[in-house]
Structure 1
Amino acid sequence: MSIPQTMTFVKTDAAGGPEVLVAATGPVPAPKPDDVLIRVRAAGVNRPDVAQRQGNYPPPPGASPILGLEVAGEVVAKGDQVTAWAVGDHVCALANGGGYAEYCAVPATQCLPWPKGYDAVQAAALPETCFTVWANLFQMGRLAKGETALIHGGSGGIGLTAIQLAHAFGARVITTAGSDEKCAACRRFGADEAINYRTQDWAAEVKRLTEGKGVNVVLDMVGGPYIAKNIRSLGMDGRLVFIAFLQGSRVADADFMPVMLRRLTITGSTMRPRTTAQKGAIAGELRARVWPMLDAGRFGPVIHATFPLAQAAAAHRLMESSQHIGKIVLTV
C-alpha cells in the first residue's frame, strides 16, 4: 500500500479560539516498533481537544502535538513488534494525539476492530468515550447490575455512552441534562430518569427518585457547585468519580462528614496520561465485554454532526455551544 511522504492535518500555532485551527501540510508520522500507522477516515472531536486548543491540556511527553484522540481507518503500515494487526485491517483507536490528520500512528494495543456493520464515522465515535466510561464508571466506580448510577451531562458523547453501557449491564440510570429535548434523548437511549438541571433541583429529584437512599455511583464531569450535591446524593458505600470539571472549578465548600458516615469513595482519573499497557488492558476488556454488544446492535454511538477535516474550527464551535446531542466527528 503506497504511503505518501506528506499529509494534510489541522494545525494550531497558538492557543486560542476555534479560529486557530487551520489546515496545513506536514510529514506522515513513522510508526514506532509497537505502533500501527492508520490511514484516517474519520476522527472524533472531544472536550480534551477543546482544552488542548485553549492551552489548558498540553499533550504528555512524546505524544503528537496535533489534536485528536480517536480515529478510525485502515492499517497501512506497522512496527516490527506488532503481530495483532495486518495491513488492510479496519480499526478504530484511542490515539495519544495526532487524530486530526490523514495519517495517525497509534500503539497497536490501543486499537479495536470496527464493530459489525459500522462505517468509519460510527467507529471513530467509539474509542474515547468507551475507554473513558469503562475505566471510570465500571473499573473505578465498580457499577454493578441492580445498582443506580447518576450520570451528569447525559446528552454528550460521554454521557450517552455511559447511559447506554450502564443500562446494558443492568443498572438503573438517572441523568441530568440542560433542556427538555436533551432529557428526552437521554431517556430514548436508556436513562430511566432524566432531570433538566435548568428547571429542577437535580439533587432534590435524586433524593425523591431514590426514596432518600441515594445512588450507588456518580459520574461527574461538571465539578464546581455539583461537588457538594454529589456527596449528598450518594448512598451507603457510594462512589463519586470525577472525569472533568466543565464548570472550571475544582474547589468546593462541602460537608465531608457523609464520606465517613456512609463510607463513600471519592476518586477520578484522566485517560491520556495512562501508559500504553494500561490503555491496552482497557482495550482488552472492551473487546471482551463491550464489543460483542456493539456487534449485536444492543447499543451504539449517537452521531450529532460530521464536518470535513478542514472545518475543524466549526466542529469546535459546535462543541463549545453545547447544542449537540451525542458525538461530533471529522471526516477525512
Structure 2
Amino acid sequence: MKAVTITEFGSAEVLQLTEIPQPIPVGNEVLIEVKASGVNRSDVLQRQGKYAAPTNTPNEIPGLEVAGVVVVCGPDVTQWKEGDRVCALLGGGGYAQFVAVKEGQCLPIPAKLDFIEAASLPETVFTVWSNIFERGSFQPGESLLVHGGSSGIGVTAIQLAHAFGSRVITTVGTDEKAQYCSDLGADLCINYKTQDFEEVLKNSGVDVILDMIGGPYFEKNLHVLNEDGRLVYINAESGKDVSLDIWQMMVKRLSISGSTLRGREYEYKKRLAEEVLKYVWPLIENGKFKPIVYKAYSYTDVVQAHQCMEQSKHIGKIILDWEV
C-alpha cells in the first residue's frame, strides 16, 4: 500500500510517498481503507523530531485521524462489519491507504457527512471533549476562553460550547478569523495582534480556559480566571517554562491541568468515543455542530498540506484526500 513516510526529521520536503506492507488486523482491530486523513499540528512536530509516536506505533508515518470503510474485521470485533463507514482516532500511521485500529476508537460517520468532513473530527472532538468538558469540568452557562480560535481545536470548541448555551471568547490573529469565529458562535473575538486579552477581560473574567500557547499567556490566564476557574493546557507553542504565583492560585481556588491524548490507554479512548457518540454526534445530526474544513489536498500534495499548516493562515482543518 501507499503511505506518506518521514524519511528524516526536517522540513515538509522530508515527507515522501512510499510503498509499505498492508497491516493485518488482529484481535479487536478493524482494517480501514482510508479515504481521507486529518492533518494536525502534532504531525508537523513529529516530522520535525519533536513529538515521537507512542510505543508500538510507527514513528515514520504521521496521522492521528482517518475516515474510510471497514474492509476486514479481526476475530474479536463485535461493533463493526465490512462495509461500515467509520472515522477513527489513531496513535499514528494515518497517512496511509489502510490502517488497523482497535474497534473502540472508531465512530460511525454521520449520514450527512462525506469522508473529507468526517476525517476532520476525531482528533479535535476527542481533544475538546476530554479537556474542556471532562478535565475542565465545563458546565452549560459558564464562560470559556479558547486561545487559537481558528484552529481545528478552536472551531470545534467554539461550536460545542455555544451549542451548550455558554459564553465563548476566543483569541485570533486576524480580523477575518475573528469574523469567522463570531459566525460560528463566539460571543467575543480578541485580535491578539492589536489587543491584550487580559486587558479586555479584566472586568468580566472567564470560568474555563483552553490554551495551546503557554509561555507569556500563562500569567495572563491566571489573572482573567474567575474564582474556582480552570486552566487546561493541550500544548505550549510559545514556551513550556512559566512562573506560578502559588498564592494567587490558592486565593482564587484555581485548578491548572493539562493532557496529551495520543498516548492514553485504549480503555480511556474507548470510553471517550462513547461519550462523543452520546453527546456530540447528535449535535452534528441536528445541525448545531459542523466540521470546518479549510482545504483538502491530494495525498500526493502532502508537502503543500504541511506547509499550509505551518503558515497558520488556515481556518479549520486541513485534510489529505486519498481518492484523488
1:210-231 alpha-carbon deviations (Å, 9 max, x no partner): 1xxx211000000010011111
Aligned to 1:325: 315
The one of 144, 155, 163 equivalent to 2:158 is 163
Counterparts of 1:233 and 1:81, CA distance in 2: 50
AA aligned to 2:93 is G
Whether 1:177 aligns to 2:172 is yes
Q: What amino acid is aligned across from residue 250 of structure 2 in structure 1?
A: M
Paired residue total: 321
- Aligned pair partner of 2:250 in 236, 253, 260: 260
2:10 to 12, 16, 35: 16
In structure 1, the residue matched to 2:213 is 222
Q: CA deviation at 1:290?
A: 0.6
Please give the secondary structure, in 1, of the residue aligned with 2:300. Answer: helix
Paired residues of 1:243 and 1:268 also in contact (CA < 8 A) = yes
Matches within 5 A, 1:102-121: 102-121=97-116
Q: TM-score, normalised by structure 1?
A: 0.95
Give, in angstroms, the shift of residue 61 of structure 1.
0.6
Q: Give 2:193's aligned residue.
A: 198
**TM-score (structure 2 length as normaliser):** 0.98
Please give the secondary structure, in 1, of the residue aligned with 2:145.
Answer: strand
Amino acid of the structure 1 residue aligned with 2:49: G
Asked whether 1:291 is paired with 2:291, we answer no
Q: Does 1:269 align with 2:264?
A: no
> 1:253: Cα distance to partner?
2.6
Which structure 2 segments of 5+ residues have no match? none
Give the C-alpha shift of residue 256 in structure 1: 3.0
Q: CA deviation at 1:32?
A: 2.4
1:44 aligns with 2:35: no
SS state of the match for residue 202, structure 2?
A: helix
1:122 to 86, 94, 117: 117
Alpha-carbon deviation of 1:246? 1.4
CA distance in structure 1 between the aligned counterparts of 2:225 and 2:4, rounded to whole angstroms: 42
Aligned mates of 2:291, 2:20 — CA distance in 1: 31
What do the CA deviations read for 1:134-167 (whole angstroms, capped 9, x no partner)?
0000000011111000000000100000000011
* Gap regions ≥5 residues in structure 1: 1-6
1:64 positional shift? 2.6
Q: Quick one: distance in 2 between partners of 1:169 and 1:246? A: 28
Q: Equivalents in 1 of 2:29, 2:285: separation in Å?
A: 25
**CA–CA distance in 1 between the matches of 2:139 and 2:211?**
18
1:279 corresponding residue in structure 2 = 269
| Per-residue deviation, 1:310 | 1.5
The offset of 1:258, in angstroms, is: 1.6
Provide Cα deviations, 1:293-317, integer angstroms capped at 9, x if missing partner: 1112211111101101111111010
- The percentage of aligned residue pairs carrying the same residue is 50
Q: What do the CA deviations read for 1:177-220 (whole angstroms, capped 9, x no partner)?
A: 00111111110101000000000011111124x1xxx2110000
Q: Which secondary structure state, in structure 2, belongs to the residue aligned with residue 205 of structure 1?
A: helix
Provide the C-alpha distance between the structure 2 equivalents of 1:311 and 1:46, rounded to a whole number of angstroms.
15
Q: Alignment RMSD, CA only?
A: 0.8
Determine the structure 1 residue equivalent to 2:139: 144
Q: Secondary structure at the match of 1:195?
A: strand
- In structure 2, distance between residues paired with 1:201 and 1:133: 25
AA aligned to 2:208 is V
1:27 alignment partner, SS class: coil
1: CA distance between counterparts of 2:142 and 2:26? 43
Looking at structure 1, the residues matched to 72 and 268 of structure 2 have their Cα atoms a distance apart, in angstroms, of 23
Contact 1:72 1:123 in 2 (8 A): yes
